[in-house]
Every structure is written in C-alpha cells, then in structure tokens.
Structure 1
C-alpha cells in the first residue's frame, strides 16, 4: 500500500482530540479516481487527501464514498503539512497561513458541501443527541456563550460508511460563520477546537491546531 501520514486536525488546547486525516503525499502514484476512492474507503478516515503537486499545493479530497471539491479539515491539515501559501482545490484556490500554534485557511462558503445547520437551545441538548439515521448531513449547535462567540457543536454526516459522527468539521464551521456573520470559537466533538472569522470579499477564515499522529510506510 502507498505510504501516508495521519494527522489530527483541530486539536484541543492540550493537543488531544481533533479529527483524523489521511494524507498521501505522493498522490501521483495513485492517479486514477477509482483507485483513490478505493484507498479512501479502505483507510476509512472521514477524508483522505492526495497531494498532486506539493510545491503548488494541488490536492484532491475524498471521503470513503465520494470525491469533494473542497473540505475544511483536509485543507487545514494539508496546509500545515506542506507549509505552502495556498492550496489548489477543484473548488478554487485556498489561501493558507501558519500563525503560532494555529494553521489558517481562507475559503468561500459556497465551496462547502450542503449542510443542515440545526440550532438547539442549550449545550446540554446538543450533548445528549443520539446519532441520527443515515440521510441528512446535520451540524447541531448551541450557544455556549453568545456574547463571546463560543459555540458547542456536533456533526453527523448522515452517510452509511461507518462514520456516524465527525470529530471536527471545518466546512460546517465555515457555513455557520457565514450565517451568523461573526467570529466563532467552536468546541466540537469530544474536545476539538475550531476558530473562524469573516474576512473581506465574502471569504471566511478557519483555523485550528494540527499534529502528526503517525506515518504509515
């Protein structure tokens, strides 16, 4: 099998949690979409990235069952790994920057796949939610501190591929930020953290911590 790195993206302040991401640095070794899709299904991460050109930052993103033109946590993780000023995705060029412990991307809300943003009245309601049946992609959220822009969220992809809940999802956070038109500090999953902020010209900035979990030869 082709070697790949496993990153944890949107880690908490103590460096734990975050959503796992598979990154195949030498994507040229697996050029076909069918082969990439098969490998993404075998690896089983919520997303797997194939790097087509590390110097340009050209990447290709897959879930276990489909190809995505853009996704948040794959872009943040790959930006950290490649340390390039931008990523080239099928959706468009994603600006990137590293700022201390955080890696940031700039993207447009319209690039994100459709999500149902479902608000709840309390954090406790969000925490108590069962995993819904496959179907609708749901981002469940509630204000933890509305004045301070702090949000509690959980993500249910609604896919029948073994991934019942995403630990951290940048695209959904991007959509929520666009809807609320304000910077957010999102606590998602078991302990992940996502930071966002509206930017000029309709862009949204999404940032988080990234760490290398393991490298598979």
Structure 2
C-alpha cells in the first residue's frame, strides 16, 4: 500500500453513488443510531480487548479505536486482503491514536485466541458476507470471554432477528437489549446487545 492507493480510496468515497449515500439522511441516521446504541450500552474499561468482524471502509473500526483509546485494543477482521492492507495503511498514515490490529482471513476459520475478547461487534452486511450464521455465532462464542458481550447490528430482513433470538441459547448467549429502527421505510435495522454466559 502507498499514498496513491490511499488517494484512490478517498476519491472513491466521493464517487456519485457512494457520495450521494454518504451525504443522505438515511446514512447519517444509521451511523447516529449505531454509535448511540454503543455509547448507551457499552462501557470501556482498563484492559478491554475488542474484536470487530468486517472492516468495510473502516469507519466503525476508527470509531471503536477512539472509544477504546486509553483503555484497550481493537482487533479488526476482514477476509479481503486489499481492504485489510488499505485500512492498516490508512490508520497509520492518518495517525490514528489507537489503531487496530488487522487480521486478514475468514472470520469463521481464522486463528483468534479462545476466550480472548471482552467485546465483539458485527454491524451492517458482515453476516451476509460471511454467509454462515451458525458458524459465525459459534466462533463469536468461542472468542468471547465468559460474560463478554456482542453488539450485533443488521438490516431487518427475512425474520433474522427472531430466528437469532431462538438460536442464541445453543451458543450459551442471551439477549440483554434489542432496539429496532424504522424511521425510513427503505432502511429498517435492528441492534442487539448479547451476553455470553459466565
């Protein structure tokens, strides 16, 4: 990765379709509610270890890194080597004060230590892109410490939320909080705080 790749990344954020979405009320609403949910339901503490599944453009990871700054570290996992390389380079070039440790690989099969993380987050299309609901939540259960928490945000589709609520006990997890958001008919989503049993 180099500055030319980074410049192209910034320019891609301003392409007509992406820029129109990035400036829309719906996009801001999605970001606001997701960050607000996190701020209301999760506390950073000394030594916290967090993992985010799916980097995408990396803004969520940037936000988490800032929220954990002075407390703990974030590991960011994505299967796409270009995304991982550019994200790590961008955070270094921009001087992020608490950059992620980037793991490039399939979340379900990558080597992450069992019982390592106090917090796991997965937002947006990450679960759809992984494509394996059972394997994904089983892996989350493996890497979470007993009593650790998952923040899961997804778009309201195909009764996924209700199905997940029924399945969580088999992975020794329970729901602490569920909020649904439907201010815009074309962007309905839900956010869950899920706790692994102690």
TM-score (norm: length of structure 1): 0.26
Task: For CA contacts below 8 A with separation 6 or more, give which structure has more relative contact order.
Answer: 1
Greater helix share, 1 or 2?
Answer: 2
User: Relative to total residues, which structure has the larger strand share, 1 or 2?
Assistant: 1
